[in-house]
Protein backbone atom coordinates (compact mmCIF):
# COMPACT_ATOMS: atom_id res chain seq x y z
CA UNK A 1 0.00 0.00 0.00
CA UNK A 2 2.75 2.31 0.83
CA UNK A 3 4.39 1.51 -2.46
CA UNK A 4 1.40 2.65 -4.52
CA UNK A 5 1.15 5.91 -2.50
CA UNK A 6 4.80 6.70 -3.25
CA UNK A 7 4.57 5.84 -6.95
CA UNK A 8 1.99 8.52 -7.91
CA UNK A 9 4.05 11.09 -6.07
CA UNK A 10 7.14 10.23 -8.11
CA UNK A 11 5.15 10.17 -11.35
CA UNK A 12 3.51 13.48 -10.50
CA UNK A 13 6.86 15.02 -9.62
CA UNK A 14 8.37 13.72 -12.86
CA UNK A 15 5.49 15.11 -14.95
CA UNK A 16 5.60 18.49 -13.22
CA UNK A 17 9.35 18.73 -13.78
CA UNK A 18 8.94 17.79 -17.44
CA UNK A 19 6.19 20.38 -17.95
CA UNK A 20 8.13 23.14 -16.27
CA UNK A 21 11.17 22.32 -18.37
CA UNK A 22 9.18 22.29 -21.60
CA UNK A 23 7.03 25.38 -20.95
CA UNK A 24 8.61 28.58 -22.27
CA UNK A 25 9.10 31.16 -19.57
CA UNK A 26 8.38 34.75 -20.66
CA UNK A 27 11.98 35.80 -20.09
CA UNK A 28 13.28 32.88 -22.14
CA UNK A 29 10.63 33.04 -24.87
CA UNK A 30 10.96 36.79 -25.40
CA UNK A 31 13.42 38.04 -27.97
CA UNK A 32 16.58 39.03 -26.12
CA UNK A 33 16.88 42.80 -25.78
CA UNK A 34 20.49 43.84 -25.60
CA UNK A 35 21.26 47.12 -23.85
CA UNK A 36 23.88 48.21 -26.38
CA UNK A 37 21.44 47.63 -29.23
CA UNK A 38 18.72 49.56 -27.37
CA UNK A 39 21.09 52.46 -26.69
CA UNK A 40 22.00 52.64 -30.39
CA UNK A 41 18.30 52.68 -31.31
CA UNK A 42 17.61 55.46 -28.81
CA UNK A 43 20.55 57.53 -30.07
CA UNK A 44 19.22 57.18 -33.63
CA UNK A 45 15.74 58.24 -32.46
CA UNK A 46 17.23 61.26 -30.67
CA UNK A 47 18.81 62.30 -33.98
CA UNK A 48 15.48 61.76 -35.79
CA UNK A 49 13.74 63.91 -33.16
CA UNK A 50 16.36 66.67 -33.56
CA UNK A 51 16.03 66.63 -37.34
CA UNK A 52 12.21 66.65 -37.20
CA UNK A 53 12.27 69.55 -34.71
CA UNK A 54 14.68 71.66 -36.79
CA UNK A 55 12.80 71.00 -40.04
CA UNK A 56 9.28 71.36 -38.60
CA UNK A 57 8.67 67.85 -39.94
CA UNK A 58 5.24 67.11 -38.47
CA UNK A 59 4.81 63.63 -40.07
CA UNK A 60 8.21 62.50 -38.70
CA UNK A 61 7.41 63.87 -35.24
CA UNK A 62 3.98 62.21 -35.35
CA UNK A 63 5.72 58.83 -35.81
CA UNK A 64 8.11 59.48 -32.91
CA UNK A 65 5.51 60.53 -30.31
CA UNK A 66 3.22 58.04 -28.57
CA UNK A 67 -0.51 58.72 -28.69
CA UNK A 68 -0.49 59.39 -24.92
CA UNK A 69 2.55 61.71 -25.11
CA UNK A 70 2.84 64.49 -22.53
CA UNK A 71 5.48 67.19 -22.71
CA UNK A 72 6.37 69.97 -20.31
CA UNK A 73 7.74 73.14 -21.88
CA UNK A 74 10.41 75.39 -20.38
CA UNK A 75 7.54 77.66 -19.30
CA UNK A 76 5.81 74.85 -17.44
CA UNK A 77 2.98 74.24 -19.91
CA UNK A 78 1.81 70.62 -20.33
CA UNK A 79 1.24 69.59 -23.96
CA UNK A 80 -0.41 66.55 -25.49
CA UNK A 81 0.76 65.01 -28.75
CA UNK A 82 -1.88 66.93 -30.72
CA UNK A 83 -0.85 70.22 -29.10
CA UNK A 84 2.85 69.57 -29.73
CA UNK A 85 2.22 68.79 -33.40
CA UNK A 86 0.03 71.91 -33.73
CA UNK A 87 2.86 74.03 -32.30
CA UNK A 88 5.10 72.68 -35.03
CA UNK A 89 2.49 73.19 -37.78
CA UNK A 90 1.89 76.81 -36.75
CA UNK A 91 5.58 77.38 -36.01
CA UNK A 92 4.70 78.53 -32.47
CA UNK A 93 7.91 76.67 -31.64
CA UNK A 94 10.63 77.32 -34.18
CA UNK A 95 14.24 76.32 -33.62
CA UNK A 96 16.97 77.49 -35.97
CA UNK A 97 19.74 75.62 -34.16
CA UNK A 98 19.74 72.73 -31.73
CA UNK A 99 23.01 71.28 -30.46
CA UNK A 100 22.67 68.25 -28.21
CA UNK A 101 25.45 66.92 -26.01
CA UNK A 102 26.09 65.16 -22.71
CA UNK A 103 23.59 62.42 -23.59
CA UNK A 104 22.92 59.89 -20.86
CA UNK A 105 20.59 56.93 -21.43
CA UNK A 106 19.20 54.82 -18.60
CA UNK A 107 17.39 51.61 -19.54
CA UNK A 108 14.81 50.25 -17.11
CA UNK A 109 12.92 47.28 -18.53
CA UNK A 110 10.98 48.51 -21.56
CA UNK A 111 11.66 52.18 -20.73
CA UNK A 112 14.57 54.38 -21.83
CA UNK A 113 15.21 57.65 -19.98
CA UNK A 114 17.35 60.16 -21.83
CA UNK A 115 18.96 63.19 -20.16
CA UNK A 116 20.84 65.67 -22.31
CA UNK A 117 22.12 69.17 -22.65
CA UNK A 118 20.55 71.21 -25.45
CA UNK A 119 21.80 74.55 -26.74
CA UNK A 120 19.10 76.24 -28.76
CA UNK A 121 18.42 79.27 -30.88
CA UNK A 122 14.84 80.03 -31.87
CA UNK A 123 11.48 81.18 -30.58
CA UNK A 124 8.59 79.77 -28.59
CA UNK A 125 5.35 81.76 -28.82
CA UNK A 126 7.35 84.74 -30.16
CA UNK A 127 9.71 84.66 -27.16
CA UNK A 128 13.42 84.05 -27.78
CA UNK A 129 14.42 80.54 -26.78
CA UNK A 130 18.18 81.02 -26.95
CA UNK A 131 20.28 79.32 -24.32
CA UNK A 132 21.17 76.08 -22.65
CA UNK A 133 18.62 73.63 -21.33
CA UNK A 134 18.60 70.22 -19.69
CA UNK A 135 15.93 67.86 -20.86
CA UNK A 136 14.52 64.47 -20.01
CA UNK A 137 12.83 62.40 -22.67
CA UNK A 138 11.20 59.04 -21.90
CA UNK A 139 10.83 56.32 -24.52
CA UNK A 140 8.68 53.21 -24.20
CA UNK A 141 9.52 50.01 -26.07
CA UNK A 142 6.23 48.72 -27.46
CA UNK A 143 5.30 45.08 -28.12
CA UNK A 144 5.54 45.89 -31.86
CA UNK A 145 9.26 46.50 -31.35
CA UNK A 146 9.04 50.27 -31.89
CA UNK A 147 10.24 52.87 -29.41
CA UNK A 148 7.92 55.85 -28.85
CA UNK A 149 8.47 59.09 -26.94
CA UNK A 150 5.96 59.17 -24.08
CA UNK A 151 7.20 62.11 -22.01
CA UNK A 152 9.42 65.15 -22.35
CA UNK A 153 10.48 67.89 -19.95
CA UNK A 154 12.88 70.77 -20.49
CA UNK A 155 14.42 73.17 -17.97
CA UNK A 156 16.51 76.27 -18.62
CA UNK A 157 19.93 76.08 -16.97
CA UNK A 158 20.31 78.66 -14.20
CA UNK A 159 22.50 81.59 -15.04
CA UNK A 160 21.28 81.74 -18.62
CA UNK A 161 19.85 85.05 -19.68
CA UNK A 162 16.10 85.35 -19.55
CA UNK A 163 14.24 85.24 -22.84
CA UNK A 164 13.55 88.55 -24.54
CA UNK A 165 10.41 89.37 -26.48
CA UNK A 166 10.95 88.97 -30.21
CA UNK A 167 10.46 92.04 -32.38
CA UNK A 168 7.95 90.55 -34.84
CB-based contact 150:71 (threshold 8 Å)? no
| Residue 60 lies inside a defined structural domain of this protein | yes
**Higher pLDDT, residue 33 or 56:** 56
Could you give the 3-state DSSP secondary structure of residue 109? coil
C-alpha to C-alpha distance for 149 and 112, rounded to whole angstroms = 9
Q: Above 80 in pLDDT, residue 166?
A: no
Residue 33 has a pLDDT of 52
Q: Is 146 left (phi over 0), alpha (psi -120 to 50) or beta?
A: beta
**SS3 labels along 38-58:** HHHHHHHHHHHHHHHHHCCCH
Q: Above 60 in pLDDT, residue 162?
A: no
Q: Above 80 in pLDDT, residue 15?
A: no
- Dump pLDDT digits (tens) for 150-159: 999 999 998 7
| Residue 8 lies inside a defined structural domain of this protein | no
Q: Identify the domain containing residue 111 by its residue range.
A: 31-156
**Higher pLDDT, residue 128 or 72:** 72
Residue 74 has a pLDDT of 85
Residue 30 has a pLDDT of 36
| Residue 10 lies inside a defined structural domain of this protein | no
| Residue 11 lies inside a defined structural domain of this protein | no
Split into its structural domains, the chain has a count of 1
| Residue 122 lies inside a defined structural domain of this protein | yes
pTM: 0.73
Q: Above 70 in pLDDT, residue 47?
A: yes
| Residue 12 lies inside a defined structural domain of this protein | no
| Residue 14 lies inside a defined structural domain of this protein | no
CB-based contact 39:105 (threshold 8 Å)? yes
Residue 2: exposure state from Cβ atoms within 10 A (0-12, 13-18, ≥19): exposed
Q: Above 90 in pLDDT, residue 79?
A: yes
Q: Above 80 in pLDDT, residue 19?
A: no
- The CATH number assigned to the domain holding 114 equals 3.10.450.50
| Residue 3 lies inside a defined structural domain of this protein | no
- Dump pLDDT digits (tens) for 80-122: 999 999 999 999 989 999 999 999 999 999 999 999 999 999 9
C-alpha to C-alpha distance for 100 and 65, rounded to whole angstroms = 19
Q: How many CB atoms lie within 10 A of CB 84?
A: 22
Amino acid sequence: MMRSAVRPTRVTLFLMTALITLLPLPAVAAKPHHKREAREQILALEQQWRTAQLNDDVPAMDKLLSDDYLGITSGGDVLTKAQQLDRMRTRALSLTSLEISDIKIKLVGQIAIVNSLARTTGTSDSVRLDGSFRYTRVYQHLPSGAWKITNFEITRIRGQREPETSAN
